Amino acid sequence: MVEYTIARYQRGGKRFEIIVDPDKALDYKLGKKRDFEGILLFDEVYVDVKKGLRASRADIQSVFGTTDINIVAEKILREGELLIKAEQRRRLINEKKKQIISYISRYCVDSRTGAPVPPIRVENIIDDIGIRIDPFKPAEEQVKYVISEISKVLPIKQQITILQIKVPSMYIGKVYGFIKNSAEILSEEWLSDGSYLARVSIPSGLKQEFIEKLGSFTAGAAYAEVIEEKVI
């Protein structure tokens, strides 16, 4: 039996449905698949797939400006709602949740103590209070909502830390790549003694980890001072 699902588009009080391959349609919807080939299983546009009721050519022309099945079907899938399978939904939600948790644990701190919020703590709150994660909406667009919901039980704030760091010349080759990959370099200069001086911005949740790694890479010879902590 061929697996299928439905993509649905509603406009002007009219509903249009097409029958599509579940996995290929989802990949297309997520931008993982560029072409429309193999997605549409039947060259028909319906008003109700389950009842087998086809849309009229006049309604299709009126809403889409064409009756070309591929153009119409592509618009329905791209702009409409895709009914996904339960396991697909779970997988997408888990992926989005991991991305959101990662962001919050990096950029957010406890408003009362300034301490970072561990990922497991963030995940437990999301699960305990039942925060809804949208499987299709980009994670970065959901972060603000999730933070506002978490703040109802744990006061947190998004924050970045500005550090001034100084690295002796003998360690620059070893540590520069780490600094560049872990922080945003706001300014940098090489001093007359060959040491490296910079101001960098990092997510506050990673401040302690960054300072500890910097110390580890330089045998404790590097200097790091918090210049500013900014709520974002």
Contacts 24+ apart (CB under 8 A), 130-133: 133/93, 133/96, 133/97, 133/100
Coil, strand, or helix at residue 85? coil
- 69 neighbors 45 (Cβ within 8 angstroms): yes
b/e map 117-154, b = 16+ CB within 10 Å:
beeebbbebbeeeebebebeeebeebbeebbeebeeee
Give pLDDT tens digits along the chain (232 positions): 568 999 999 998 899 999 999 999 999 998 899 999 999 999 999 999 999 999 999 999 999 999 999 999 999 999 999 999 899 999 999 999 999 999 999 999 999 998 899 999 999 999 999 999 999 888 999 999 999 999 999 999 999 999 999 999 999 999 999 999 999 999 999 999 999 999 999 999 999 999 999 999 999 999 999 999 988 8
Residue 47 vs residues 42, 81, 109: alpha-carbon distances, Å: 14, 14, 50
- Entry pTM: 0.74
